[in-house]
Amino acid sequence: MVIGSNTALPAPVATSGQDGDGRSERLRLAAAEVIAHHGVAAASARSIAAAAGMAPSAINYNHGSLERLLSATFTRGLADTASWLKGRIGELAFLPATPDAAALALEDVIVQWTAGERSLAVLYQECLATSLGSGVAADWTRLWRDFWLDVAEQFGLDPLEGRLLHVFFESEALHNLSRWSPALERGALREMCEYFAETWLGAIPRLGRGALDQAERIAGAKAHGTLPPAALRIAEAAAEVVEDKGLGGLTHRAVAARAGLTTGSVTHHFRSIEDLLAGAIRGQVQLLMQEADGGSHDQSPPAIDDVTSVEHLIDAIQLQAGQDRPPSPLTRRRSLFLATIHRPDLATAGAVIRFSYGGTVREALGRLRPGTQASLALTAGVLSRLLSALWYACSAEDEPRTARERLSRRINERFVVGLRAG
Protein backbone atom coordinates (compact mmCIF):
# COMPACT_ATOMS: atom_id res chain seq x y z
CA MET A 1 0.00 0.00 0.00
CA VAL A 2 1.22 3.53 -0.76
CA ILE A 3 0.72 6.38 1.71
CA GLY A 4 -2.52 8.16 0.91
CA SER A 5 -3.28 5.80 -1.97
CA ASN A 6 -7.01 6.05 -1.24
CA THR A 7 -6.93 9.80 -0.81
CA ALA A 8 -7.01 12.10 -3.82
CA LEU A 9 -5.37 15.38 -2.92
CA PRO A 10 -7.54 18.33 -3.98
CA ALA A 11 -6.37 20.52 -6.79
CA PRO A 12 -4.76 23.82 -5.79
CA VAL A 13 -7.25 26.58 -5.20
CA ALA A 14 -7.33 28.93 -8.15
CA THR A 15 -6.29 32.51 -7.55
CA SER A 16 -7.05 35.70 -9.37
CA GLY A 17 -4.74 38.53 -10.27
CA GLN A 18 -1.03 38.46 -10.98
CA ASP A 19 1.50 36.93 -8.62
CA GLY A 20 4.81 37.80 -10.16
CA ASP A 21 6.23 39.02 -6.85
CA GLY A 22 4.89 36.08 -4.81
CA ARG A 23 2.14 38.07 -3.12
CA SER A 24 -0.31 35.17 -3.21
CA GLU A 25 2.21 32.92 -1.47
CA ARG A 26 3.04 35.63 1.09
CA LEU A 27 -0.63 35.90 1.96
CA ARG A 28 -0.98 32.14 2.28
CA LEU A 29 2.05 31.92 4.57
CA ALA A 30 0.72 34.83 6.62
CA ALA A 31 -2.67 33.12 6.95
CA ALA A 32 -0.98 29.91 8.12
CA GLU A 33 1.04 31.89 10.68
CA VAL A 34 -2.01 33.70 12.06
CA ILE A 35 -3.99 30.47 12.35
CA ALA A 36 -1.12 28.59 13.98
CA HIS A 37 -0.53 31.27 16.60
CA HIS A 38 -4.00 32.67 17.21
CA GLY A 39 -6.56 30.28 15.72
CA VAL A 40 -8.84 30.46 12.71
CA ALA A 41 -11.25 32.77 14.56
CA ALA A 42 -8.49 35.42 14.54
CA ALA A 43 -7.73 34.97 10.83
CA SER A 44 -9.42 38.13 9.57
CA ALA A 45 -8.51 39.93 6.36
CA ARG A 46 -6.95 42.71 8.41
CA SER A 47 -4.81 40.43 10.61
CA ILE A 48 -3.56 38.33 7.69
CA ALA A 49 -2.78 41.35 5.55
CA ALA A 50 -0.88 42.95 8.45
CA ALA A 51 1.17 39.78 8.94
CA ALA A 52 1.98 39.78 5.20
CA GLY A 53 2.81 43.48 5.20
CA MET A 54 0.11 44.19 2.62
CA ALA A 55 -3.22 45.95 2.34
CA PRO A 56 -6.39 43.93 3.07
CA SER A 57 -7.53 44.52 -0.52
CA ALA A 58 -4.64 42.32 -1.68
CA ILE A 59 -6.54 39.26 -0.43
CA ASN A 60 -9.43 39.75 -2.85
CA TYR A 61 -7.06 40.68 -5.67
CA ASN A 62 -4.81 37.63 -5.27
CA HIS A 63 -7.24 35.01 -3.90
CA GLY A 64 -10.73 36.24 -4.71
CA SER A 65 -11.90 36.27 -1.07
CA LEU A 66 -10.81 35.54 2.47
CA GLU A 67 -12.61 32.18 2.36
CA ARG A 68 -10.64 31.11 -0.74
CA LEU A 69 -7.40 32.18 0.91
CA LEU A 70 -8.17 30.06 3.97
CA SER A 71 -9.10 27.14 1.71
CA ALA A 72 -5.78 27.51 -0.15
CA THR A 73 -3.96 27.58 3.20
CA PHE A 74 -5.59 24.36 4.39
CA THR A 75 -5.03 22.72 0.99
CA ARG A 76 -1.31 23.47 1.16
CA GLY A 77 -1.24 22.10 4.69
CA LEU A 78 -2.71 18.85 3.39
CA ALA A 79 -0.05 18.61 0.67
CA ASP A 80 2.73 19.39 3.17
CA THR A 81 1.41 16.66 5.46
CA ALA A 82 1.44 14.12 2.62
CA SER A 83 5.09 14.92 1.95
CA TRP A 84 5.96 14.67 5.64
CA LEU A 85 4.24 11.29 6.02
CA LYS A 86 6.26 9.76 3.19
CA GLY A 87 9.40 10.44 5.20
CA ARG A 88 7.89 8.98 8.38
CA ILE A 89 6.89 5.66 6.83
CA GLY A 90 10.46 5.13 5.65
CA GLU A 91 11.87 6.02 9.07
CA LEU A 92 9.50 3.63 10.86
CA ALA A 93 10.66 0.79 8.59
CA PHE A 94 13.80 0.46 10.74
CA LEU A 95 11.72 -0.66 13.75
CA PRO A 96 11.02 -4.40 14.24
CA ALA A 97 7.67 -5.59 12.89
CA THR A 98 6.04 -6.27 16.27
CA PRO A 99 3.09 -4.82 18.22
CA ASP A 100 5.54 -3.50 20.83
CA ALA A 101 7.39 -1.55 18.16
CA ALA A 102 4.04 -0.24 16.90
CA ALA A 103 3.65 1.50 20.28
CA LEU A 104 7.04 3.15 19.76
CA ALA A 105 5.97 4.23 16.28
CA LEU A 106 2.71 5.66 17.60
CA GLU A 107 4.47 7.72 20.26
CA ASP A 108 7.17 8.89 17.86
CA VAL A 109 4.75 10.08 15.19
CA ILE A 110 2.60 11.94 17.73
CA VAL A 111 5.63 13.68 19.25
CA GLN A 112 7.29 14.50 15.92
CA TRP A 113 4.01 15.82 14.54
CA THR A 114 2.96 17.96 17.50
CA ALA A 115 6.45 19.28 18.31
CA GLY A 116 8.53 19.23 15.13
CA GLU A 117 5.59 20.16 12.89
CA ARG A 118 3.60 22.10 15.46
CA SER A 119 2.31 24.83 13.12
CA LEU A 120 1.11 22.22 10.64
CA ALA A 121 -0.44 20.17 13.45
CA VAL A 122 -2.36 23.21 14.71
CA LEU A 123 -3.47 23.99 11.16
CA TYR A 124 -4.90 20.46 10.89
CA GLN A 125 -6.88 20.85 14.11
CA GLU A 126 -8.21 24.26 13.08
CA CYS A 127 -9.26 22.77 9.74
CA LEU A 128 -11.17 19.99 11.54
CA ALA A 129 -12.84 22.55 13.79
CA THR A 130 -13.89 24.56 10.74
CA SER A 131 -15.29 21.81 8.50
CA LEU A 132 -15.20 18.38 10.16
CA GLY A 133 -15.96 15.59 7.70
CA SER A 134 -16.08 17.71 4.55
CA GLY A 135 -13.79 19.34 2.00
CA VAL A 136 -10.10 19.58 2.82
CA ALA A 137 -10.73 18.40 6.39
CA ALA A 138 -12.13 15.11 5.09
CA ASP A 139 -9.20 14.62 2.71
CA TRP A 140 -6.76 15.38 5.52
CA THR A 141 -8.42 12.86 7.86
CA ARG A 142 -8.40 10.19 5.15
CA LEU A 143 -4.71 10.87 4.56
CA TRP A 144 -3.99 10.07 8.21
CA ARG A 145 -6.25 7.02 8.08
CA ASP A 146 -4.34 5.64 5.09
CA PHE A 147 -1.02 6.34 6.80
CA TRP A 148 -1.99 4.33 9.87
CA LEU A 149 -3.27 1.51 7.69
CA ASP A 150 0.18 1.45 6.08
CA VAL A 151 1.82 1.44 9.50
CA ALA A 152 -0.37 -1.45 10.64
CA GLU A 153 0.59 -3.49 7.58
CA GLN A 154 4.26 -2.74 8.19
CA PHE A 155 4.02 -4.01 11.78
CA GLY A 156 2.01 -7.14 10.94
CA LEU A 157 -1.29 -5.81 12.28
CA ASP A 158 -4.72 -6.19 10.72
CA PRO A 159 -6.62 -3.27 9.13
CA LEU A 160 -8.93 -2.79 12.13
CA GLU A 161 -5.86 -2.43 14.34
CA GLY A 162 -4.61 0.17 11.88
CA ARG A 163 -7.89 2.02 12.27
CA LEU A 164 -7.47 1.93 16.05
CA LEU A 165 -3.98 3.41 15.69
CA HIS A 166 -5.64 6.23 13.76
CA VAL A 167 -8.30 6.71 16.44
CA PHE A 168 -5.67 7.00 19.19
CA PHE A 169 -3.68 9.40 17.03
CA GLU A 170 -6.70 11.65 16.47
CA SER A 171 -7.04 12.04 20.23
CA GLU A 172 -3.42 12.77 21.05
CA ALA A 173 -2.61 14.72 17.86
CA LEU A 174 -4.75 17.38 19.50
CA HIS A 175 -3.93 16.96 23.18
CA ASN A 176 -0.18 16.59 22.78
CA LEU A 177 -0.10 20.18 21.53
CA SER A 178 -0.22 21.08 25.23
CA ARG A 179 2.82 22.84 26.68
CA TRP A 180 1.85 22.52 30.32
CA SER A 181 4.48 20.10 31.72
CA PRO A 182 6.54 18.56 28.88
CA ALA A 183 8.31 15.86 30.91
CA LEU A 184 5.19 14.69 32.75
CA GLU A 185 3.02 14.84 29.64
CA ARG A 186 5.59 12.88 27.61
CA GLY A 187 5.62 10.25 30.37
CA ALA A 188 1.82 10.05 30.36
CA LEU A 189 1.78 9.74 26.56
CA ARG A 190 4.30 6.89 26.61
CA GLU A 191 2.33 5.11 29.31
CA MET A 192 -0.90 5.44 27.32
CA CYS A 193 0.73 4.25 24.08
CA GLU A 194 2.10 1.16 25.85
CA TYR A 195 -1.23 0.35 27.48
CA PHE A 196 -3.04 0.90 24.19
CA ALA A 197 -0.64 -1.47 22.40
CA GLU A 198 -0.97 -4.07 25.15
CA THR A 199 -4.77 -4.04 25.21
CA TRP A 200 -5.65 -3.49 21.55
CA LEU A 201 -2.60 -4.63 19.56
CA GLY A 202 -1.43 -7.64 21.58
CA ALA A 203 1.87 -6.13 22.76
CA ILE A 204 3.76 -7.43 25.79
CA PRO A 205 2.20 -6.17 29.06
CA ARG A 206 4.24 -3.51 30.85
CA LEU A 207 3.90 -2.09 34.33
CA GLY A 208 2.38 1.37 34.38
CA ARG A 209 4.61 4.18 35.61
CA GLY A 210 1.84 6.19 37.25
CA ALA A 211 2.53 9.20 35.02
CA LEU A 212 -1.07 9.61 33.82
CA ASP A 213 -2.44 9.42 37.38
CA GLN A 214 0.18 11.96 38.48
CA ALA A 215 -0.74 14.29 35.62
CA GLU A 216 -4.43 14.08 36.51
CA ARG A 217 -3.76 14.92 40.16
CA ILE A 218 -1.32 17.78 39.54
CA ALA A 219 -3.49 19.34 36.84
CA GLY A 220 -6.45 19.21 39.22
CA ALA A 221 -8.54 17.20 36.78
CA LYS A 222 -9.92 14.88 39.47
CA ALA A 223 -10.93 17.23 42.27
CA HIS A 224 -12.81 19.60 40.00
CA GLY A 225 -15.75 20.26 42.27
CA THR A 226 -19.27 21.10 41.16
CA LEU A 227 -20.48 24.43 39.83
CA PRO A 228 -23.84 25.67 41.17
CA PRO A 229 -26.62 25.96 38.56
CA ALA A 230 -26.21 29.72 38.05
CA ALA A 231 -22.45 29.45 37.52
CA LEU A 232 -22.88 26.40 35.28
CA ARG A 233 -25.25 28.37 33.06
CA ILE A 234 -22.62 31.11 32.71
CA ALA A 235 -19.84 28.57 32.11
CA GLU A 236 -21.79 26.93 29.30
CA ALA A 237 -22.43 30.34 27.70
CA ALA A 238 -18.69 31.12 27.95
CA ALA A 239 -17.86 27.86 26.17
CA GLU A 240 -20.31 28.75 23.39
CA VAL A 241 -18.72 32.19 22.97
CA VAL A 242 -15.23 30.66 22.67
CA GLU A 243 -16.53 28.09 20.18
CA ASP A 244 -18.11 30.82 18.01
CA LYS A 245 -15.64 33.70 18.34
CA GLY A 246 -12.42 32.31 19.77
CA LEU A 247 -10.66 33.58 22.88
CA GLY A 248 -10.60 37.10 21.49
CA GLY A 249 -14.38 37.25 21.72
CA LEU A 250 -14.55 36.05 25.33
CA THR A 251 -15.71 39.03 27.40
CA HIS A 252 -18.02 39.31 30.38
CA ARG A 253 -20.43 41.34 28.24
CA ALA A 254 -20.52 38.72 25.46
CA VAL A 255 -21.11 35.90 27.95
CA ALA A 256 -23.83 37.87 29.71
CA ALA A 257 -25.61 38.43 26.39
CA ARG A 258 -25.35 34.73 25.49
CA ALA A 259 -26.62 33.61 28.91
CA GLY A 260 -29.39 36.27 29.07
CA LEU A 261 -27.97 37.75 32.26
CA THR A 262 -26.51 41.04 33.38
CA THR A 263 -22.78 41.64 33.19
CA GLY A 264 -22.76 42.04 36.96
CA SER A 265 -24.15 38.52 37.40
CA VAL A 266 -21.29 37.12 35.32
CA THR A 267 -18.57 39.03 37.16
CA HIS A 268 -20.10 37.95 40.48
CA HIS A 269 -19.23 34.32 39.69
CA PHE A 270 -16.14 34.87 37.49
CA ARG A 271 -14.20 38.03 38.22
CA SER A 272 -11.52 37.79 35.48
CA ILE A 273 -11.38 36.41 31.94
CA GLU A 274 -9.06 33.67 33.21
CA ASP A 275 -11.66 32.73 35.85
CA LEU A 276 -14.32 32.73 33.15
CA LEU A 277 -12.33 30.42 30.89
CA ALA A 278 -11.45 28.09 33.76
CA GLY A 279 -15.13 28.02 34.69
CA ALA A 280 -16.10 27.20 31.12
CA ILE A 281 -13.71 24.25 31.18
CA ARG A 282 -14.97 23.00 34.54
CA GLY A 283 -18.51 23.40 33.29
CA GLN A 284 -17.93 21.30 30.20
CA VAL A 285 -16.34 18.53 32.26
CA GLN A 286 -19.30 18.64 34.63
CA LEU A 287 -21.81 18.53 31.77
CA LEU A 288 -20.04 15.49 30.30
CA MET A 289 -20.25 13.75 33.67
CA GLN A 290 -23.93 14.58 33.98
CA GLU A 291 -24.55 13.27 30.47
CA ALA A 292 -22.69 10.07 31.34
CA ASP A 293 -24.87 9.77 34.43
CA GLY A 294 -27.93 9.42 32.18
CA GLY A 295 -30.34 11.70 30.37
CA SER A 296 -34.06 11.90 30.17
CA HIS A 297 -34.71 10.25 26.81
CA ASP A 298 -34.89 6.53 26.08
CA GLN A 299 -31.62 6.38 24.13
CA SER A 300 -29.50 7.86 26.95
CA PRO A 301 -26.84 5.66 28.51
CA PRO A 302 -27.76 4.34 31.97
CA ALA A 303 -26.63 6.26 35.03
CA ILE A 304 -23.15 5.29 36.23
CA ASP A 305 -24.59 4.19 39.58
CA ASP A 306 -26.88 1.78 37.73
CA VAL A 307 -24.00 0.00 35.94
CA THR A 308 -23.67 -3.40 37.62
CA SER A 309 -21.18 -5.23 35.38
CA VAL A 310 -18.40 -4.60 32.89
CA GLU A 311 -20.70 -5.84 30.14
CA HIS A 312 -23.35 -3.34 31.23
CA LEU A 313 -20.74 -0.57 31.09
CA ILE A 314 -19.73 -1.65 27.59
CA ASP A 315 -23.38 -1.60 26.47
CA ALA A 316 -23.66 2.00 27.68
CA ILE A 317 -20.47 2.92 25.82
CA GLN A 318 -21.68 1.21 22.64
CA LEU A 319 -24.93 3.18 22.77
CA GLN A 320 -23.03 6.48 22.79
CA ALA A 321 -20.90 5.44 19.79
CA GLY A 322 -24.06 4.96 17.74
CA GLN A 323 -25.13 8.59 18.05
CA ASP A 324 -24.85 10.59 14.84
CA ARG A 325 -22.88 13.42 16.43
CA PRO A 326 -20.64 13.65 19.48
CA PRO A 327 -22.18 15.18 22.61
CA SER A 328 -22.03 18.97 22.47
CA PRO A 329 -19.92 19.20 25.66
CA LEU A 330 -17.32 17.01 23.94
CA THR A 331 -17.06 19.27 20.87
CA ARG A 332 -16.93 22.35 23.09
CA ARG A 333 -14.23 20.75 25.22
CA ARG A 334 -12.11 20.24 22.10
CA SER A 335 -12.77 23.84 21.04
CA LEU A 336 -11.76 25.12 24.46
CA PHE A 337 -8.57 23.06 24.47
CA LEU A 338 -7.68 24.29 21.00
CA ALA A 339 -8.17 27.86 22.25
CA THR A 340 -5.84 27.30 25.23
CA ILE A 341 -2.88 26.18 23.13
CA HIS A 342 -2.70 29.68 21.64
CA ARG A 343 -2.21 31.21 25.10
CA PRO A 344 0.79 30.04 27.21
CA ASP A 345 -0.82 31.57 30.31
CA LEU A 346 -3.75 29.17 29.89
CA ALA A 347 -1.63 26.00 29.75
CA THR A 348 -2.90 24.83 33.15
CA ALA A 349 -6.51 25.27 32.03
CA GLY A 350 -5.70 23.20 28.96
CA ALA A 351 -4.18 20.48 31.16
CA VAL A 352 -7.45 20.21 33.07
CA ILE A 353 -9.20 19.45 29.77
CA ARG A 354 -6.55 16.99 28.61
CA PHE A 355 -6.46 14.99 31.82
CA SER A 356 -10.14 14.99 32.77
CA TYR A 357 -10.98 12.17 30.35
CA GLY A 358 -12.29 8.96 31.89
CA GLY A 359 -13.66 10.24 35.20
CA THR A 360 -17.04 8.50 35.07
CA VAL A 361 -15.63 5.32 33.52
CA ARG A 362 -12.98 5.21 36.25
CA GLU A 363 -15.70 5.57 38.89
CA ALA A 364 -17.66 2.65 37.45
CA LEU A 365 -14.58 0.46 37.04
CA GLY A 366 -13.49 1.26 40.58
CA ARG A 367 -16.70 -0.34 41.83
CA LEU A 368 -16.68 -3.27 39.41
CA ARG A 369 -12.97 -4.10 39.30
CA PRO A 370 -11.16 -2.37 42.16
CA GLY A 371 -7.53 -1.50 41.49
CA THR A 372 -4.93 1.13 42.24
CA GLN A 373 -5.69 4.71 41.31
CA ALA A 374 -2.85 4.62 38.78
CA SER A 375 -4.18 1.52 37.03
CA LEU A 376 -7.75 2.82 37.00
CA ALA A 377 -6.59 6.16 35.58
CA LEU A 378 -4.73 4.41 32.77
CA THR A 379 -7.50 1.93 31.96
CA ALA A 380 -10.33 4.47 31.98
CA GLY A 381 -8.25 7.25 30.46
CA VAL A 382 -7.17 5.38 27.33
CA LEU A 383 -10.60 3.82 26.78
CA SER A 384 -12.32 7.21 27.08
CA ARG A 385 -9.84 8.87 24.72
CA LEU A 386 -10.43 6.22 22.08
CA LEU A 387 -14.20 6.49 22.32
CA SER A 388 -14.16 10.28 22.28
CA ALA A 389 -12.00 10.35 19.14
CA LEU A 390 -14.20 7.93 17.18
CA TRP A 391 -16.33 10.70 15.65
CA TYR A 392 -13.25 12.54 14.39
CA ALA A 393 -11.45 9.47 13.04
CA CYS A 394 -14.58 8.30 11.20
CA SER A 395 -15.91 11.69 10.11
CA ALA A 396 -14.65 11.34 6.52
CA GLU A 397 -16.02 7.83 5.91
CA ASP A 398 -18.81 7.20 3.41
CA GLU A 399 -20.83 5.67 6.27
CA PRO A 400 -19.46 7.23 9.48
CA ARG A 401 -21.93 5.56 11.81
CA THR A 402 -21.17 2.09 10.48
CA ALA A 403 -17.45 2.73 10.84
CA ARG A 404 -17.86 4.01 14.41
CA GLU A 405 -19.95 1.05 15.47
CA ARG A 406 -17.50 -1.41 13.96
CA LEU A 407 -14.51 0.21 15.66
CA SER A 408 -16.42 0.61 18.92
CA ARG A 409 -17.16 -3.12 18.96
CA ARG A 410 -13.47 -3.93 18.47
CA ILE A 411 -12.48 -1.46 21.18
CA ASN A 412 -14.96 -2.93 23.64
CA GLU A 413 -14.15 -6.57 22.83
CA ARG A 414 -10.41 -6.11 23.36
CA PHE A 415 -11.05 -4.03 26.45
CA VAL A 416 -13.13 -6.76 28.11
CA VAL A 417 -10.54 -9.40 27.20
CA GLY A 418 -7.83 -7.22 28.69
CA LEU A 419 -9.76 -6.72 31.92
CA ARG A 420 -10.30 -10.47 32.32
CA ALA A 421 -6.67 -11.21 31.58
CA GLY A 422 -5.56 -8.52 34.01
How do residues 366-405 score in pLDDT, each as one tens digit?
A: 877 777 888 888 999 999 999 889 999 999 999 998 999 8
pLDDT of residue 85: 97
pLDDT band at 307 (very low <50, low <70, confident <90, very high): low
Measure CA 120 to chain center: 15
Asked whether the beta carbons of 93 and 33 are under 8 A apart, the reply is: no
pLDDT of residue 287: 66
What is the torsional sign of CA 39, 41, 46, 49?
Answer: positive
Top-confidence range, 2-6, 76-80, 126-130: 76-80
Number of C-beta neighbours around residue 20 at 10 A: 7
Least confident of 82-86, 121-125, 244-248: 244-248
Burial readout 275-284 (b: 16 or more C-beta within 10 A, e: otherwise): ebbbbbbbbb
Give which of 282, 294, 309 is closest to 364, Cα–Cα: 309
pTM for this model (two decimals): 0.85
Amino acid at 201: L
Q: What angle do CA 206, 376, 220 make, to 5 degrees?
A: 115
Query: Using one digit for the tens of pLDDT, what is the confidence trace for 345-367?
Result: 888 888 988 998 887 788 778 87
Q: Residue 26 pLDDT > 90, yes or no?
A: yes
pLDDT of residue 188: 96
Top-confidence range, 15-24, 162-171, 318-327: 162-171
Q: Residue 13 pLDDT > 60, yes or no?
A: no
pLDDT of residue 15: 41
pLDDT of residue 305: 58
Asked whether the beta carbons of 419 and 369 are under 8 A apart, the reply is: yes
User: Rounded distance, CA 400 to CA 135, Å?
Assistant: 15
Query: Using one digit for the tens of pLDDT, what is the confidence trace for 180-196?
Result: 999 999 999 999 999 99
Please state the φ and ψ torsions of residue 280, each to the nearest 5 degrees: -60, -40
pLDDT band at 298 (very low <50, low <70, confident <90, very high): very low
**How many separate helices (H) and strands (E) can be counted in the chain?**
20, 0
Measure CA 208 to chain center: 24
Give which of 377, 367, 363, 383 is closest to 320, Cα–Cα: 383
Instruction: Please write down the long-range contacts of 109-113, taking CB distance under 8 Å and 24 or more positions apart.
Output: 109/151, 109/169, 110/169, 110/172, 110/173, 110/176, 110/189, 110/193, 111/176, 111/186, 111/189, 112/88, 113/173
Asked whether the beta carbons of 279 and 270 are under 8 A apart, the reply is: yes
Bigger pLDDT: 390 or 8? 390
